[in-house]
């Protein structure tokens, strides 16, 4: 996944490979610019100029959706995979009522035509599913009449009205205050657990991942540097970057807070980077090898479900007192 920029070709996502089990919540973390949103948009095939997908596969069911015709992709978007973004107010149309917007989405995805009354019923159902109180009376409201949290609920309702199996939520709560954020995340987890929705949650908040996700993928400068079950990765991180992130967060299920901590140094922009570990400049484990050769992705402690890209993964895993 590349973007053409004035400074050269930016390799925004490189060699990132992960599976999401149906019904799981997968947390994709990393600092700003790591490539998280690009992964989400690539899955939806929503990469626009100057970006392009230069290779790889997105397997959904038994098909590589990067190679299906655009017409079919339009059906998959919505009916199969939906995406919500950080800023619901920007995504909602200010001049249409919430009811009108949901009706549009419903019509664009429905395979059959429903009567207006049937549509209204489905719209009310969708709003009820995201716990919007008294949905009938909200149909005629305009987006400005909704709070930030309620707008995000409307966006989730919109993304789910066509009954997709996968929801990609790109930092869905980063503009909300803490209590509202917690409510939205609880709602997502409830939808995941009760409605068997599969969720890719993009976030820069490790606490959120610890509290809500089944698996975690950690991105750094376009690469997936670690991947595994949340419990394993938090207990035995195999990458120094993850270790730093985890070190600042209480154990899974203990808390929902914990922003990405500040780690000294900055993440490089992946333009013409040398063959080396991109984290080496910030890493206390790094030696000569790390500056000369990018580490491949290997299992941690021979656990097939836990992988990391670090020459020192065994040493990192064995460091006492990871917490």
**Burial letters for 19-51: b for 16+ Cβ neighbours within 10 Å, e otherwise?**
ebeeebbbbbbbbebbbbbbbbbbbbbebeeeb
38 binds Mg ion (CB under 5 A): no
Q: What x/- string results for residues 26 through 55 when contact with ligand ADP is judged by CB under 6 A? A: ----x-xxxxxxx-----------xx----
- DSSP letter, residue 67: G
308 binds Mg ion (CB under 5 A): no
173 binds ligand ADP (CB under 6 A): no
Q: List the interface residues with ligand ADP, window 269-298 (CB under 6 A).
A: 269
Tell me whether the omega of the peptide bond preceding residue 50 falls within 30 degrees of 0, making it cis.
Answer: yes
Task: Report what 10 binds from ligand ADP, Mg ion, none; CB cut-off 5-8 Å by kind.
Answer: ligand ADP
| Smallest distance, ligand ADP to C-beta of residue 10, A | 5
CA atoms of 187 and 129, how far apart (whole Å): 9
- Give the residue, chosen from 37, 82, 151, 308, that forms a contact with Mg ion under the rule CB under 5 A: 37
Task: Report what 173 binds from Mg ion, ligand ADP, none; CB cut-off 5-8 Å by kind.
Answer: none
Q: Give the number of residues in contact with ligand ADP, rule: CB under 6 A.
A: 15
CA atoms of 130 and 121, how far apart (whole Å): 15
Q: How far apart are the first and last CA of the chain?
A: 35
CA atoms of 31 and 279, how far apart (whole Å): 13
> DSSP string spanning 104-156?
HHHHHH-SS---HHHHHHHHHHHHHHTT-SSHHHHTT--GGGS-HHHHHHHHH
| Smallest distance, ligand ADP to C-beta of residue 39, A | 7
Q: In the complex with ligand ADP, which residue's Cβ is closer, 50 or 296?
A: 50
Q: In the complex with ligand ADP, which residue's Cβ is closer, 3 or 234?
A: 3
Q: Which residues contact 234 (CB under 8 A, 6 or more apart)?
A: 210, 216, 246, 249, 251, 252
Q: In the complex with ligand ADP, which residue's Cβ is closer, 48 or 62?
A: 48
149 binds ligand ADP (CB under 6 A): no
| Smallest distance, Mg ion to C-beta of residue 168, A | 11
Helix (H, G, I), strand (E, B) or coil at 307: strand
Interaction site with ligand ADP (CB under 6 A): 3, 5, 10, 12, 30, 32-38, 50-51, 269
Interaction site with Mg ion (CB under 5 A): 37
């Amino acid at each position: 996944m590349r973007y053409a920029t004035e400074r050269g070709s930016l390799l925004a996502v490189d060699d990132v490979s992960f599976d999401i089990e149906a019904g799981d919540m997968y947390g994709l973390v990393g600092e700003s610019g790591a490539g998280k949103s690009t992964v989400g948009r690539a899955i939806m095939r929503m990469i626009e100029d100057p970006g392009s997908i230069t290779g790889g596969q997105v397997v959904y069911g038994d098909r590589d959706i990067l190679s299906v015709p655009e017409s079919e992709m339009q059906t998959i978007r919505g009916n199969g995979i939906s995406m919500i973004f950080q800023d619901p107010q920007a995504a909602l149309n200010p001049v249409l009522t919430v009811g009108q917007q949901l009706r549009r989405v419903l019509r664009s995805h429905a395979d059959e035509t429903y009567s207006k009354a049937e549509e209204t019923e489905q719209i009310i159902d969708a709003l009820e599913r995201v716990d919007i109180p008294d949905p009938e009376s909200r149909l005629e409201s305009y987006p400005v009449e909704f709070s930030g949290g309620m707008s995000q609920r409307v966006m989730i309702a919109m993304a789910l009205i066509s009954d997709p199996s996968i929801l990609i939520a790109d930092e869905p709560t980063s503009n909300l205050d803490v209590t509202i954020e917690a409510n939205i995340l609880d709602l997502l987890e409830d939808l995941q657990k009760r409605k068997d929705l599969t969720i890719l949650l993009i976030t820069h908040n490790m606490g959120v991942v610890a509290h809500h996700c089944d698996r975690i993928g950690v991105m750094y400068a376009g690469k997936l540097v670690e991947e595994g079950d949340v419990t394993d990765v938090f207990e035995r991180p195999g990458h120094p970057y993850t270790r730093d992130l985890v070190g600042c967060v209480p154990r899974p299920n203990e808390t929902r807070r914990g922003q990405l901590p500040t780690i000294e140094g900055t993440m490089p922009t992946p333009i013409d980077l040398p063959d080396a570990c991109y984290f080496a400049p910030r890493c206390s484990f790094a030696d000569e090898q790390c500056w000369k050769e990018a580490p491949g992705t290997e299992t941690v402690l021979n656990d097939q479900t836990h992988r990391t890209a670090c020459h020192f993964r065994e040493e990192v895993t064995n460091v006492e007192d990871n917490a």
